[in-house]
Amino acid sequence: MPILAATGRDRIARSEGGSGSGEEENPARVTDVAVRLVQLTKRFGGDTTGKRVATYVDGAKADDTFLAVDHIDLEVRDGEFFSLLGPSGCGKTTTLRMIGGFEQPTSGLIELKGEDVSWLPAYQRNVNTVFQNYALFPHLTVFENVAFGLRRRKVADADIKQRVGDMLELVELPGYERRKPGQLSGGQAQRVALARALVNKPAVLLLDEPLGALDLKLRKQMQVELKRIQQEVRITFIYVTHDQEEAMTMSDRIAVMNKGKYEQLGDPEVLYERPQTRFVAGFLGVSNLLRATPDGPVDGYAVYRLADATAVRVPQQLVQGESGPVAIGVRPEKIRLSEAKADVAPGLNRLAGVISDASYLGVSTQYIVSLAGGGSVTVYEQNVERATKSELWTAGESVQLTWVPEHSFVVADEGSASNAAQEDLS
Amino acid sequence: MTTATTTYAGTRTRTPVGRRLGRGIGRRLLPGFTALAIGYLLIPIVVMILFSFNDYQGKFNFIWNGFTLKAWEAPLAWPGLPDALKLSLTIAALSTLFATLLGTMIGLALTRYQFRGRGLINGLIFLPMASPEIVLGASLLTLFINISLGAGITPPGLGFLPKTALSLGFTTILIAHIMFNISYVVVTVKARLSGFDRRLEEAAMDLGANEWTTFWKVTFPLIFPGILAAALLAFSLSIDDFVITNFVSGTSLTFPMWVYSVIRNALPAQINVIGSAIFLVAVGGVALATLIQGRAPRFSR
């Protein structure tokens, strides 16, 4: 650690001395990439952070180490709303804290607008953070909280007044200048925290589960608000959350993280429609996963056999080259239910089953269907064709399940010991 | 079923009476007990203040003999009293300053950083508070004499001091007072720091404040009430100390020692006057601290 620290100081000296000349040498580095992470790694423990490992990992001892972030390569584009999504302990917050400068990387690089900031202290990075519990300064007024960053940069008083006023306008809290943080509600404190960060016009705004402490209704409202503000100020947002719905609502792109790496990176639609791993399929929304073995291609379709030898077809281009057992996925709302003996259009995937549970949810009805070949799947049916109690399917009825092959996805079956065909991690 | 009902009914009739009786006792006696307890705490102070206005006869201010302002008009009118008071105030001010400075830094280090021996230091900090003063006084005297006479042990690193540097007097009293005050400051400051949200400091750095600015703009204002309380405690401990001071003062006289020395021949009302004055200043200080504490924001949010 001391050796790394010395190197870090050298780098600070160098980058302070000639950030301008660095750009001349390397004009290609000035791109539309806001943040680039190169093989970014954080290992806790092995030094004074050892105690924290014990709090992160069950049963860990103080001298154990814990790989929180595992060689991440990532590019966040300028002006986008980017989310790091994953369960607790997946490394998303550690990644964010390293970008912010609150955590030193064990190895790897962090570039901000083409400039290496890996070893710069937080106060020399052109990023600002909205903290999980806001971290407003309790001894300062709302005005002084928002003005804090500007005062550090010795902005003229008149200018500060103007910009703080504008910013409070943007977050819809004009007239709150003289309040103390203790006199604000959770939602208001959240807005002040946002204003305090945005007023500095950072290259990137980091948000660490900022809506976690708000109630559901306020959270939904703030999601829309955040998206509006982001589009208004056009600053790159990097948003950390464990709430998949929140990430889907706001993000341009999402990286789904698990165990220190991201498993898939893409638009919300792509992540939902074409998850590439079992984890992503389960973490975003509800997935029905059916274990199957490949049985050769037919007419541009890959054919798979389920446990009871039922054939399921998936377009060849959706297969990622998995060999051996796979899981065929299909989202609950893509499946149509029909009577067991009814004719169905050719070309659809078809399974037989018995309704085992029906829950009326208003906008849709959720059915759990036991498959003839074992396991069960979840089906959501919009309450359009069938809406009243007598029309809905009831438990014990035999049904046919059909879906378009194009609505399937294929993920590697990671030897899950669970023999349930259906997996619902959400 | 019937039995249960009977029991229930029986309980029902008895309980409210018992409860009402208990409540009645509480309502009548609690204020009385409270007054007694508070009176017990305050009577010595009341007597001290009262007798500072006593028009006593002879040398000893023991018997009430009528009201007068004589002593308050000439509060320092005894040989040796002005010097002793001056010495006590100087020692108290300086020891408070150094002990608060050092103690705050130790408190910060102990709550902020993980380092080898942290637990040990945490425990050792309590030792001066837990040790009998007479033990500390005797051992300090032994230590100072050894250093100043050049005989016996010289603590490592202090060999460069001139042999007269630690002759008993002002310096040794100051060193002793700083020593016993530090523990109290550390404990008080640590209590305030334990609830401190480190994210506030991260937020300050995130907004462009370096370590120095972060400390003065965020950390210090938020822990200031704790530091102030620690300083007040240190001051009152120092100005009051007799046992340790008596060992290490040589020929110097602090106010408590002066009181002790004159009391064999006389008990002037001036002692009560100075005592009352110190008490009033202390009460003022505590009131001020309470006011600041009360206005100090909580750490959350």
- Say how far residue A3 (Cα) sits from the centre of its chain: 35
- pLDDT the model gives residue B18: 58
Phi/psi class of residue B186: alpha, beta or left (left: φ > 0; alpha: ψ in -120 to 50)? alpha
What ipTM was estimated for this complex?
0.76
DSSP states of A271-284 as a string? HHHS--SHHHHHHS
The band of B297, judged by pLDDT with boundaries at 50, 70 and 90, is low
- pLDDT the model gives residue B4: 41
The band of B64, judged by pLDDT with boundaries at 50, 70 and 90, is confident
**Which chain A residues are within 8 Å of B298, Cβ to Cβ?**
138, 182
Residues A258 and A396 in one domain: no
Q: Write out pLDDT tens, residues A376-420.
A: 899 998 888 777 777 788 888 888 899 998 898 888 876 543 333
**Which chain B residues are within 8 Å of A182, Cβ to Cβ?**
297-298, 301
% chain B with pLDDT above 70:
82
Residue A3 included in any domain: no
Residues A408 and A293 in one domain: yes
Q: Do B204 and A137 touch (CB under 8 A)?
A: yes
- pLDDT the model gives residue B283: 85
Cα distance between residue B121 and residue B190, in whole Å = 13
Tokens 């993980």 belong to B114
Question: Among partner residues B115, B209, B299, which is closest to A152 by beta-carbon distance?
Answer: B209
Disruptive mutation site among A52, A102, A130 for chain B (greatest number of B CBs within 10 Å): A102
Residue A9 included in any domain: no
Enclosing domain of residue A44: 26-266
The band of B165, judged by pLDDT with boundaries at 50, 70 and 90, is low
Q: The domain that contains A302 carries what CATH number?
A: 2.40.50.140
Task: Compute the count of residue pairs across chains A and B with CB atoms less than 8 Å apart.
Answer: 84
Question: CB distance from B164 to chain A under 8 Å?
Answer: no
Question: CB distance from A183 to chain B under 8 Å?
Answer: no
Which distant-in-sequence residues (6+ apart) come within 8 Å of A159 by Cβ?
Answer: A150
Q: Which positions of chain A have pLDDT values less than 50?
A: 1-30, 48-50, 416-426
Residues A244 and A157 in one domain: yes
Q: Write out pLDDT tens, residues A291-341.
A: 888 887 888 888 888 888 888 888 888 887 766 788 888 999 999 888 888
Q: Which of A233, A266, A299 represents a domain boundary (last residue)?
A: A266
Disruptive mutation site among A120, A129, A148 for chain B (greatest number of B CBs within 10 Å): A148
Q: Do A138 and B205 touch (CB under 8 A)?
A: no
Cα distance between residue B19 and residue B179, in whole Å = 54
Q: Do B218 and A129 touch (CB under 8 A)?
A: no
Residue A230 included in any domain: yes
- The total number of structural domains in chain A stands at 2
A380, HSE (Cβ side, Cα atoms, 13 Å):
14
Residues A260 and A290 in one domain: no
Integer CA distances (angstroms), B69 to B233, B268, B277, in order: 31, 13, 14
pLDDT of B5 strictly over 90: no
Q: Do A181 and B221 touch (CB under 8 A)?
A: no
Domains along chain B with CATH numbers: 70-295 (1.10.3720.10)
Give the amino acid at A165.
G
How crowded is residue B221: how many other Cβ atoms within 10 Å of its Cβ? 16
Nearest chain A residue to B221 by CA distance is A139
Cα distance between residue A217 and residue B157, in whole Å = 66
Lowest mean pLDDT among A198-202, B11-15, B33-37, B136-140: B11-15
Closest CA to A327 of A261, A380, A275: A275
- pLDDT the model gives residue A20: 38
Q: Write out pLDDT tens, residues B76-112.
A: 888 888 999 999 999 999 999 999 999 999 999 998 8
Integer CA distances (angstroms), A10 to A6, A17, A269, B165, B273, in order: 6, 11, 44, 45, 64
Cα distance between residue A374 and residue A396, in whole Å = 15
Question: Among partner residues B115, B202, B298, which is closest to A138 by beta-carbon distance?
Answer: B298
A19, HSE (Cβ side, Cα atoms, 13 Å):
15
| pTM of the entire predicted model | 0.76
Residues A251 and A299 in one domain: no
pLDDT of B292 strictly over 90: no
Integer CA distances (angstroms), B7 to A58, A163, B11, B12, B20, in order: 51, 74, 6, 8, 20
The arithmetic mean of pLDDT across residues B216-245, rounded, is 91
Residues A321 and A214 in one domain: no
Q: Do B206 and A123 touch (CB under 8 A)?
A: yes
- pLDDT the model gives residue A125: 92
Residue A199 included in any domain: yes
pLDDT of B162 strictly over 90: no
Residues A322 and A384 in one domain: yes
- pLDDT the model gives residue B114: 78
Residue A123 included in any domain: yes
Cα distance between residue B245 and residue B165, in whole Å = 18
Residue A48 included in any domain: yes
Indicate the DSSP class of residue B218: I
B180, HSE (Cβ side, Cα atoms, 13 Å):
29
Residue A260 included in any domain: yes
Residues A211 and A294 in one domain: no
pLDDT of B245 strictly over 50: yes
Residues A152 and A293 in one domain: no
Q: Which of A238, A266, A294 represents a domain boundary (last residue)?
A: A266
How crowded is residue B257: how many other Cβ atoms within 10 Å of its Cβ? 19
Residues A228 and A291 in one domain: no
- pLDDT the model gives residue A423: 38
Per the model's pLDDT, the better-predicted residue between B247 and A17 turns out to be B247
Stretch 19-58 of chain A: residues touching chain B, C-beta under 8 Å: 48, 51
pLDDT of B266 strictly over 90: no
Integer CA distances (angstroms), A43 to A84, A91, A267, B274, in order: 19, 10, 29, 63
Residues A241 and A187 in one domain: yes
Q: The domain that contains A203 carries what CATH number?
A: 3.40.50.300
Question: CB distance from B224 to chain A under 8 Å?
Answer: no
Residue A273 included in any domain: no
Q: Which of A266, A294, A321 represents a domain boundary (last residue)?
A: A266
Residues A252 and A340 in one domain: no
- What values do phi and psi take at A238, rounded to 5? -115, 120
pLDDT of B22 strictly over 80: no
